[in-house]
Structure 1
Amino acid sequence: MMNWEDLMKPTKFRPGKGEKKTALSEFKEDYSKIIFSSSFRRLKNKTQIHPLDSNDFIRTRLIHSLEVSTIASEVGGLVESGLIKRGKFPSEMKECMGSVLEAASLLHDVGNPPFGHYGEVIIQDFFTEFFEKKFNENIDFYGEKWSKAELNDFKKFEGNAQTLRVISRLQYIRDEYGLNLTFPTMASIIKYPRSSFEGNNPNMGISYKKFGYFQSEKEPFEKIVSELGIKIDGKARRHPLVFLLEASDDIAYLVADIEDAVKKGILTTEKVREVIEKYLDSENDKEREILESLGEAEVDCLYPDPREIKMQIFRVKIQKFMINETAKSFFNNYENIMRGTYEEELLDSSDAVHLKKAFREILSIIISDKDVIKLEISGDRILRVLLREFTDAVVSPKKDRIGSKEEKLYRLISSNYRFLKDRYPYKNKLYNELKLVTDFICGMTDSYALELYQSIMAIKF
């Protein structure tokens, strides 16, 4: 059984010096570190769902992360208050839960490559083909044998695992510990506490759906789960706050993506209502109120775009409902969550499940839009070319020959990433080299990836 005294210990890889700080001040310091980090800033130009969109109204990963942070802070406050009243959370740690979630929410997407989740698929496909061509029975061209987990780190590439890598290693400050955040904040973004060999098996439960750490970060991962007491019977479990962050992420993007789609003309409010009516029960008072909110909003008849206001009112009502249902679901499943045996999403175990299903169907309409598809295809071409060019350069002995194409490409890779590769190398040489490529690619914004592609392909000078 997990306990909050261990779960909320503000331990770090590198202990602070000088005056002893409170847990709350440590968690607030995490937030400050993240806000001022380059990894967080780059989210301003990374796709949420509409790549390379010029409309400032449309959400980027940065705006999405800030919205998740706001929602998660509110959810955390509700849950913490309820647990304190029930005598299940230390009263002296008041405000800590919301603060950890507020900080962790800013991080949850920093490992995503350009062009959204489709970028992950492109990386997976590229390296699956690379290994098929270059390897002989899991042995690389340096003669080193790879484990299945090492291979899957690339063949099943996962942005969640890249996030842990970014904050624990790549966001360099003074040593190999990256941002040196507290363990509770770091654990709260590990949705899938599995290796790439153990994960990718959703039939075993939600925590097995994907994976949460690469072999290069196995050591810090093991230290985090051990220190916080989230390893039970020899198996890592989700930190309880993961469930709250996961629900907050869903609440933020499901509703906001619909709002953006209506603004872009991909959806009408009538279509949104039509789909929602398929799932919601008009006999249920709360669900009927949600249905009515799309049609009852009073908007000044002179306002140029009434649907925009209607969607904003609808979003606020929906978010409040789903936030409350998330907290209720956490309390209802509390014992199993603390035992590490709960393997569902909180919203799926709540009265908001019908609404979530409706939003999933609406989301499938949005991502099927031709403009979204065309931009994803463009992103496919861009990333495949960058992956090929930089992988060929990094593994080539010519990269050390001054003046060669390979050497020029190698020097285009962030000097920070090259420094970390050499200063804190992984034991497997080729693994280390290929990680340099994925680190560089995932650190790119959408526009930078496009610009670099145009330069390499001599499309734009």
Structure 2
Amino acid sequence: MSNLLYGPRDSSRFIQETGSSESWRDEFRRDFARVIHCPSFRRLQGKTQLFPGHESDFFRNRLTHSLEVGQIAESIAHAINGKQPFFANNPINPRICLTAALLHDIGHPPFGHNGEEALDEQMREHGGFEGNAQTLRIVSQLEKKRFTSQTCPLERRAGLNLTYRTLGAVLKYDRPIGLKREKVDKVAKGYYFEDRPVVDDIKEAVAPGFQGSSFKTIECSIMDIADDIAYSTYDLEDSFKAGFLCPSKILSMDFSILHRVAEKVKKEVNIEDFSATDVLQVFLEIFENHFEIPTDLSPLRPDSKPERILSSLQVMTELDNIATDSYIRTQFTSDLVGSFISGVSITENHELPQLSKVVVDKEILIKIETLKNLSFEATIFSNRVKVSEYRGKDIVSGIFSALAGEKGHLLLPEDALKLFVAARDDRQKQLRVVCDFIAGMTDRYAIEFYSRLYSDNAQSMFKPL
């Protein structure tokens, strides 16, 4: 049976591979296997998601987060195939959605967004740095699965040599990052300017003749919303477990934080009227599905009386069981994920079905964005987290300064050193080699490398870099 979502070049690769006798699996399953077995994927276990891994084995890291995103993305694909007539006849390939989800964070450097900011600051005048752009770079060039030239290490490498459709599923932002940007600019979302040939190849293979301004495949859209769902629920669960948040803290939170959350929700959902009080209302609606909340308990509006707040203390104590009781907390997040998945559908693009877009029920989207941004605001501005963040950014910047300094390249491992030397007088390419090396570090390795550069308690010189 033909499938309008997939074309003849979707399963092709930059380097065509022949001679495979594996009739029992298609090209997209081969992509999945390559991702599972590659070093960049394994290193996600050593990269921070919300809280540093050394704090507790309970908290998610980038690897476990990616596995959860993968399960959600696969479930969304199956759900849409089952409930929308067009996709019943032209089913979305769940394996591509899963693979994209497993890949979506491999470009993130050590120490999360702070490591990303540190690298971008160093590369601001040399093409920038951004996690999603680095993901595309890793899978299409840096991973050591396929290469095009044995003589020149800087010639275009093929990375994992994934199919074009899988590569398209990780291309979240269809815009190049400028080669030079002002120092006051924030991290720019997109792909690296130097990787435009890769993106052009992807577009031509997946959507021949595409001339639009926003290229995003259906699998990428599914991966994107799956990431938001995982972020909004499981980061909240980690915040509950860590004691950073609980329902009573949320419902009595400083209005300045709630206002920041409301502004972000307004922007993401594209609504004009959404206030700090509306943020509280969203949480009450979420919590009341698990507990019998008295009807007279409403968000703390300006006209609320102290007596009403005091009378709600008993209810708040019961609500806090969501944070402290493991069974209730697990059921709470499971129910949220299920309800969020049920609110996802696809708007068909009849001209280019492969670029059809994810649509989320407005009320569900408001809940997702509220939870996601509340978890971020409540933890990221905690002084405990800020100390860890400051240290991480300082470590990344310190390593970059050392490696990019005079003769600093001699500190690079042998394979990275060869790439640096091959760049010769091209300073931008040399700095990109340094940036690629640091971006691939885990949190622990970055700390160790920094210690070997700057600490008085340096490790043995016989331990390999």
The TM-score normalised by the length of structure 1 is 0.76
Q: Deviations over 1:70-105 (max 9, x none)?
A: 11111111123345x336753xxx5x6210011111
Amino acid at match of 1:385: G
* Contact kept? 1:114, 1:446, Cα under 8 Å: yes
Task: Tell whether 2:184 aligns with 1:185.
Answer: no
Deviation at 1:255, TM superposition (A): 1.0
Task: Tell whether 2:120 aligns with 1:162.
Answer: no
* Contact kept? 1:290, 1:318, Cα under 8 Å: no
* Contact kept? 1:278, 1:358, Cα under 8 Å: no
Q: 1:339 and 1:452 mapped to 2: Cα distance?
A: 47
Amino acid at match of 1:443: G
* Contact kept? 2:81, 2:88, Cα under 8 Å: no
Long gaps (5+) in structure 1:
132-150, 201-208, 394-405
Task: Tell whether 2:246 aligns with 1:233.
Answer: no
Equivalent residue, structure 2, for 1:139: none
Q: Map of 1:73-92 to 2, 5 A cutoff?
A: 73-83=74-84, 85-86=85-86, 89-90=89-90
Residue identity over aligned pairs, in percent, reads 26
Equivalent residue, structure 1, for 2:50: 49
Deviation at 1:287, TM superposition (A): 8.2
Equivalent residue, structure 2, for 1:99: 95
Task: Tell whether 2:306 aligns with 1:309.
Answer: no
Deviation at 1:281, TM superposition (A): 8.8
Q: Map of 1:324-363 to 2, 5 A cutoff?
A: 324-326=342-344, 328=345, 330=346, 333-335=347-349, 338=352, 346-347=359-360, 350-359=362-371, 360-363=373-376
Amino acid at match of 2:409: Y
Task: Tell whether 2:197 aligns with 1:219.
Answer: yes
Q: Please, which moves more after superposition, 12-21 or 53-62?
A: 12-21
Equivalent residue, structure 2, for 1:173: 145
Q: 1:58 and 1:291 mapped to 2: Cα distance?
A: 26
- In structure 2, do the counterparts of structure 1 residues 159 and 23 end up closer, same or farther at CA, with 3 Å as the change threshold? farther
Q: Deviations over 1:89-148 (max 9, x none)?
A: 53xxx5x621001111111111111110121111222334xx5xxxxxxxxxxxxxxxxx
- In structure 2, do the counterparts of structure 1 residues 320 and 212 end up closer, same or farther at CA, with 3 Å as the change threshold? same
Equivalent residue, structure 2, for 1:289: 289
Equivalent residue, structure 1, for 2:231: 253
Amino acid at match of 2:349: E
Deviation at 1:52, TM superposition (A): 4.9
Q: Please, which moves more after superposition, 61-70 or 232-241?
A: 232-241
- In structure 2, do the counterparts of structure 1 residues 274 and 307 end up closer, same or farther at CA, with 3 Å as the change threshold? farther
Amino acid at match of 2:174: P
Q: 2:95 and 2:384 mapped to 1: Cα distance?
A: 38
Q: 2:42 and 2:77 mapped to 1: Cα distance?
A: 24
* Contact kept? 1:170, 1:417, Cα under 8 Å: no
Equivalent residue, structure 2, for 1:195: 176
* Contact kept? 1:12, 1:181, Cα under 8 Å: yes
The partner residue of 2:441 within 430, 440, 444 is 444
Task: Tell whether 2:14 aligns with 1:13.
Answer: yes
Report the RMSD for the aligned CA atoms in angstroms.
3.5
Q: Deviations over 1:23-48 (max 9, x none)?
A: 96211111111111100111111011
Q: Please, which moves more after superposition, 185-194 or 262-271?
A: 262-271
1:39 match: secondary structure: helix
The TM-score normalised by the length of structure 2 is 0.75
Amino acid at match of 2:117: V
- In structure 2, do the counterparts of structure 1 residues 242 and 24 end up closer, same or farther at CA, with 3 Å as the change threshold? farther
Amino acid at match of 1:278: L
**Which structure: greater helix fraction?**
1
Q: 1:259 and 1:390 mapped to 2: Cα distance?
A: 39
Task: Tell whether 2:108 aligns with 1:112.
Answer: yes
